[in-house]
């Protein structure tokens, strides 16, 4: 009888964002007769709790000090010695550095895989951090056996410095309910906000970070309220910019139409209650939030950046606009609000695409194929 392949996953886990959703979908779906996963996180938060629900062991490395880049290195080295993984699969810059260096110091024959979820340069708006982590990624990246990229847009950049046989593109995927979601007959979200049931709701689900482009949506809404004063906007997510964005909303006089809902665990229940989903990102790997909105049948407007055009076909199953262009964003939202039947058709087309092309089963099959491939080398 074959022994299951031991895989050590390392990820930050401080948020429950796209990378965490991606990894949860993967580890919960692995065949236990073929794979034995163990997850290491820096933060014992929602992601770790959800992983434990599927009886996958979790080791908490501890957040350490923010300036100690390699905090957790000793714990990972110990885990490599006791768990003896055949593959270390890392997600996120800090996890990448710790996993690669720990494995190098231990001198094991373990294979290293890194999934790249986003553009590093845009994740770090502070110049010295961007420079430092960029150099460390370059230095340790030579130890990686294989890179998994979540979009072809990222692949085009990686091919400039990494050999093609060390790269695979595997799009993100989401859990898809067997019964396809449809528009809620009664909106509990509108009740929560004390809005009438016929109020038009435009939603955004994203962490509040400069790369997500909320500031451009504020500028667009400032124009839209002149023609559509009764449309309301719900922003779901937390992050470093929340307080600053709330101030900007106040200064723009939009506090009565933009609602900050914070981090929510009921996003799948909220999405079908939206009339429109908008994501104004400056950069994306491949957005899980867009996939979730499309799976719920909600028409999507987003920016033509990163992997988003690999999900959304313009004017077929969604609308693409230039990034950092509030006037174009406002015009797209205005046009969508003016043609609800057309947008409804786009929403259904988007739902059909996600169910056809972005299932967890596909993610699992493609990722495990990479595992088998690199272990044969």
Alpha-carbon span 122 to 116, nearest angstrom:
13
Query: Could you read off the pLDDT of 45-56 as tens digits, one per residue?
Result: 999 999 999 999
Residue 63 pLDDT > 70: no
Alpha-carbon span 168 to 110, nearest angstrom:
19
Residue 124 pLDDT > 90: no
Provide the pLDDT for residue 67.
45
> pTM of the entire structure?
0.90
Is 188-357 in the same CATH topology as 5-173+359-376? yes
Provide the pLDDT for residue 129.
75
Provide the pLDDT for residue 1.
41
Query: Could you read off the pLDDT of 292-343 as tens digits, one per residue?
Result: 999 999 999 999 999 999 999 999 999 999 999 999 999 999 999 999 999 9
Q: Return the CATH fold of 5-173+359-376.
A: Rossmann fold (3.40.50)
Q: Where are the domains of the chain?
A: 5-173+359-376, 188-357
Q: Return the CATH fold of 188-357.
A: Rossmann fold (3.40.50)
Q: Please provide the average confidence, as pLDDT, over all residues in the chain.
A: 93
């Amino acid at each position: 009888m074959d022994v299951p392949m031991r895989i050590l996953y390392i990820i930050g886990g401080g948020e429950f964002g796209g990378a965490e959703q991606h990894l949860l979908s993967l580890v919960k779906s692995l065949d236990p007769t073929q794979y034995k996963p163990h997850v290491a996180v820096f933060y014992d938060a929602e992601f770790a709790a959800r992983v434990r629900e599927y009886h996958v062991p979790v080791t908490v490395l501890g957040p350490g000090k923010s300036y100690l880049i390699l905090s957790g290195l000793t714990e990972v080295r110990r885990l490599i010695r006791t768990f003896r993984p055949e593959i270390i699969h890392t997600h996120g810059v800090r996890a990448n550095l710790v996993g690669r260096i720990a494995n190098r110091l231990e001198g094991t024959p373990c294979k290293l895989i890194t999934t790249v979820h986003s553009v590093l340069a845009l994740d770090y708006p502070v110049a010295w951090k961007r420079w430092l982590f960029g150099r460390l990624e370059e230095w340790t990246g030579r130890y990686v056996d294989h890179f998994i990229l979540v979009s072809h847009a990222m692949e085009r950049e990686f091919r400039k410095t990494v050999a093609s046989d060390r790269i695979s593109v595997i799009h993100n995927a989401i859990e898809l309910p067997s019964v396809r979601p449809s528009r809620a007959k009664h909106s509990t979200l509108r009740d929560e906000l004390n809005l009438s049931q016929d109020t038009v709701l435009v939603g955004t689900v994203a962490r509040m970070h400069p790369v997500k482009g909320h500031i451009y949506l504020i500028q667009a809404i400032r124009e839209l309220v002149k023609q559509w004063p009764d449309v309301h906007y719900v922003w779901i997510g937390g992050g470093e910019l929340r307080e600053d964005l709330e101030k900007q909303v106040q200064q723009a006089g939009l506090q009565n139409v933009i609602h900050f809902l914070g981090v929510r665990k009921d996003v799948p229940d909220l999405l079908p209650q939206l009339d429109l989903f908008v994501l104004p990102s400056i950069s994306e790997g491949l957005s899980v939030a867009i996939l979730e909105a499309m799976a719920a049948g909600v028409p999507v407007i987003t920016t033509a950046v990163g992997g988003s055009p690999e999900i959304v076909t313009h004017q077929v199953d969604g609308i693409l606009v230039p990034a950092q262009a509030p006037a174009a964003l406002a015009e797209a939202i205005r046009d969508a609000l003016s043609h609800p039947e057309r947008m409804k058709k786009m929403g259904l087309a988007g739902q059909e695409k996600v169910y056809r092309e972005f299932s967890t089963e596909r993610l699992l099959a493609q990722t495990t194929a990479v595992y088998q491939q690199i272990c044969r080398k």
